Amino acid sequence: MKAFRSVTSRAVVLDRPDVDTDQVIPKQFLKRIERTGYGEFLFFDWMKDPQFELHGQEGRILIAGRNFGCGSSREHAAWALQDYGFDVIVAPSFGDIFRQNSLKIGLLPVAVPPDDVKALMQRARGGEELTVDLVERTAGGIPFELDDFSRECLLEGLDDVALTLQEEAAIAAYEAAAAPRASTLSLG
């Protein structure tokens, strides 16, 4: 995955709560079997509206309302945001699966309290560049929480499948000790 340390950039404001992944990338683009090229379809339906907030805004940081990325598990949503040019999403909270998907690809989800998000939105609207620093765990100077393991994986761009494959002995031991599972190969 893409490694991330820090970014300093203008920020894009999308001040709406509960932005679901169906809006981030509508279903018709989920039929592709590639992992790239989703950026041009980001917020496809909303982009058709000339009044949509994203028009005229540029930056590598997206600041959004609570529960960003709720709904569908489609990782395409995280791919689309990253492909469009975002490195960081700041919001008061995230849909769990979206947050997990983002961490897996090097798109940093930053959760800070709602009042801090509003303050960052104000600063972004004023044209200020913000720095999101994963080493220090700060966004625009505001500290955010991210567990050490996720931080390490992001800083190093680690492939966590490779990490887990190093646990082969533990996995095999678990399998040997566990009760037998229903086999999908012998359903008759």
Q: How far apart are CA 111 and CA 113, in angstroms?
A: 7
- Pick from 33, 50, 115, 126 the residue near other proteins by CB under 8 A: 33
Decide whether 9 or 134 has the Cβ nearer to other proteins: 134
Task: Check binding of 20 to other proteins (CB under 8 A).
Answer: yes
- Pick from 67, 109, 110, 140 the residue near other proteins by CB under 8 A: 67
Task: Check binding of 14 to other proteins (CB under 8 A).
Answer: no
In the stretch 116-145, what mask flags binding to other proteins with x, by CB under 8 A? ------------------------------
Decide whether 136 or 160 has the Cβ nearer to other proteins: 160
Q: How far apart are CA 157 and CA 5, in angstroms?
A: 10
Q: How far apart are CA 65 and CA 109, in angstroms?
A: 13
Task: Check binding of 39 to other proteins (CB under 8 A).
Answer: no
For residue 166, give every residue at least 6 positions away whose Cβ sits within 8 Å of its Cβ, in sequence order, or none.
none
- Pick from 56, 126, 127, 185 the residue near other proteins by CB under 8 A: 185
How many chain residues bind other proteins (CB under 8 A)?
61
First to last CA, the chain: 40
Closest distance of CB 68 from other proteins, Å: 10
**Alpha-carbon separation of residue 56 from 27, 47, 73, 118, 135 (angstroms):** 25, 11, 29, 20, 31
Measure CA 178 to chain center. Answer: 35
Closest CA to 95 of 170, 185, 23, 8: 23
Decide whether 127 or 179 has the Cβ nearer to other proteins: 179
Torsion of CA 149, 76, 164, 89, to 10 degrees: 0
Interface residue list for other proteins (CB under 8 A) = 15-18, 20, 22-23, 26-28, 30-35, 45, 65-67, 70-76, 78, 93-98, 100-101, 104-105, 147-149, 160-161, 164-165, 167, 170-171, 174-175, 178-188
